[in-house]
Structure 1
């Protein structure tokens, strides 16, 4: 089972990127079943590496290794152990495996204290699932492993969506703590149930929230809001379109014994637009929307969305107020995101002073050779009126 690449292809693959597209392949030798491991060679028949193949995907092959080694349980376990060593953490809750960034494309593993949630997005990784589960059980001895593989990419890969306990059992809402705050990961919610990538950014925002009137837009289950309240915010309003997310946010607030908050089930764009017509103003506003674009073809609309939501937030801030703004849209670069913020300040007659510039935490590593691993942009901005 061999895959031969074309002669005139970009040096991307040679320089470390694991994806091989359909138009980069010259020929495939052998009767290869989708999801199977193949050996990849360049046009001169020089060995490039091993990966799994899927002819239903534009990304025909995802490389797992550049060595001529067996892809078995021992291989998977070594990869997971390497990812754990790379993180060098004593935290009980963290992202264990971050797909391509940890040389395991198609696999996400989040650990929430005694429980683990996995997300498998590709057919090739699905076929390796028995090895993944065995390895995680041996390494962590968890009380339960929940598979939350619900990405739309699974349909393209020829897979059904899965949301169930695949080892042991556990609660629908998995309890865990970060930054000494109690949280709940929702097995029926988004992604793996909780967003761990913003935990340090939220902690930094808390430092600017004491005695402040705050607004958390796209709050989901309240990561930013809870950190602001923990730091002494006077009041926080949480806005999210998901009623269930707000119900769980309410549970999290009660776990932490917070009372000075309000939950509003609404579209954040519409809510801010309506607030703009009132006289209500805020000291701190967090804007952390979901990804606005999954592909480069939708980048323009994503940039328009970022400009609009940041402009509306700026109009609702008191002079000298704090805007915490985020983008998790991978196809939008940091510079493009900054440009949309500048455009919003120009339209609102304000300036934005950077107080903190954040991104992904250590357990969401960025491989510089694989730009797709770099997605999260975060800024804490002091918004000031321009006085003439």
Structure 2
């Protein structure tokens, strides 16, 4: 089947972006089925690439390759081999496949120690699930593979949600180690169960955590707080709205023999506001919230949310305290984020000194041609009072 694009297609497609929207298509030869692989041509009938089509999606075609090659098991073997070349083979826990960033739109696969968790979000990739599973099994010999395909985009693609073990079996909480700390990926939790993208950014706290009083807000399963405890923190407070997340935090702390901590279940905005702003409580605060915006229409609200939560954190930091602050909202750019933090610091009467600027790790690569693959921003700041103490 052949798909022909309109004459005035955007440079985004010409320059390597894999998404082709409905309004960019001039006509289609034949009647392809949803999820079927099609060949894409420009208006001059020059070959553009091959991808899978879905009439249920506004993203009508997602390009898999710019070469005129067969899309079969050997194709996916090549793609996964290419992805692994970009990874560190010495690590036991990392993201194997990062969707568009690894030329495999619609699938994410995370390796947690001896187990793998996959998330499939598109019909086109669903049709190749068995081939991909075979490759993952042959490559890694995992003890089990868990599928956690429950995103809203999957429903839009005409697929039912699917959560469960699809190869052998394993525990509800999957153990894995990062930076010599035992963590757990929660099969009942968010996304693939744990977030691997901040494991290097957390190391930036190593030289500052000893004897510190710390807060890990939006902690989920406790990445930053566990690192601070590992690095010698005097006390860490874990804060999250999810009872389940705090349950996992308690299990994780116990397994690592960490004792000097407490937990709070609640809304981080409300909890931070409830502290007496005249009492500077914490030496270090980590803020790692979920995405405050999914699209450009909610960008303004996201900016307000980021400023407010960072301002509240700054107000309860001791003089020269540290703020480890993050944004995983793709529509908020690095420049946006820096400006938001600057504005919050000015309102708090603080001088914001950048000690470390973090990014996505190599197993979460971003492609300059595909803006959507760049999402994570991280800053470690020292906040100095501009007036008084």
Q: Is the 8 A contact 2:280 2:317 kept in 1?
A: no
2:78 is the alignment partner of 1:78:
yes
Q: Is the 8 A contact 1:284 1:323 kept in 2?
A: yes
2:151 is the alignment partner of 1:151:
yes
Using the TM superposition, name which of 159-168 and 307-316 deviates more: 159-168
Q: Following superposition, which runs of at least 4 residues in structure 1 exceed 3 angstroms of deviation? A: none
Task: Indicate the residue corresponding to 2:20 in structure 1.
Answer: 20
Superposed CA offset, 1:43-79 (max 9, x none) = 0011111000011111110000011111111111111
TM-score, normalised relative to structure 1: 0.98
Using the TM superposition, name which of 137-146 and 269-278 deviates more: 269-278
- Partners in 1 of 2:276 and 2:313 — Cα distance? 9
Superposed CA offset, 1:271-307 (max 9, x none) = 0010135735110000000000111100000000000
Task: Indicate the residue corresponding to 1:197 in structure 2.
Answer: 197
Contiguous gaps of at least 5 residues in structure 1: none
Question: How far off is 1:126 after superposition?
Answer: 0.8
Question: How far off is 1:104 after superposition?
Answer: 0.1
Task: Indicate the residue corresponding to 1:117 in structure 2.
Answer: 117
Question: How far off is 1:387 after superposition?
Answer: 2.7
Task: Indicate the residue corresponding to 1:99 in structure 2.
Answer: 99
Q: Give matches, 1:304-315, under 5 Å.
A: 304-315=304-315
- Partners in 2 of 1:92 and 1:138 — Cα distance? 16
Task: Indicate the residue corresponding to 2:225 in structure 1.
Answer: 225
- Give the count of matched residue pairs: 388
2:284 is the alignment partner of 1:291:
no
Superposed CA offset, 1:100-125 (max 9, x none) = 01000011010011100001111111
Q: Is the 8 A contact 1:206 1:228 kept in 2?
A: yes
Q: Is the 8 A contact 1:276 1:312 kept in 2?
A: no
Task: Indicate the residue corresponding to 2:108 in structure 1.
Answer: 108
| Secondary structure, counterpart of 2:13 in structure 1 | coil
TM-score, normalised relative to structure 2: 0.98
- Partners in 1 of 2:88 and 2:278 — Cα distance? 49
Task: Indicate the residue corresponding to 2:279 in structure 1.
Answer: 279
- Partners in 2 of 1:131 and 1:332 — Cα distance? 36
Superposed CA offset, 1:14-47 (max 9, x none) = 1111111111110111111111100000000111
Q: Give matches, 1:211-222, under 5 Å.
A: 211-222=211-222
Question: How far off is 1:220 after superposition?
Answer: 0.3
Task: Indicate the residue corresponding to 1:347 in structure 2.
Answer: 347
| Secondary structure, counterpart of 1:87 in structure 2 | coil
2:63 is the alignment partner of 1:63:
yes
User: Structure 1 residues 33, 41: closer, same or farther in 2, change over 3 A?
Assistant: same
Question: How far off is 1:159 after superposition?
Answer: 1.0
Task: Indicate the residue corresponding to 2:367 in structure 1.
Answer: 367
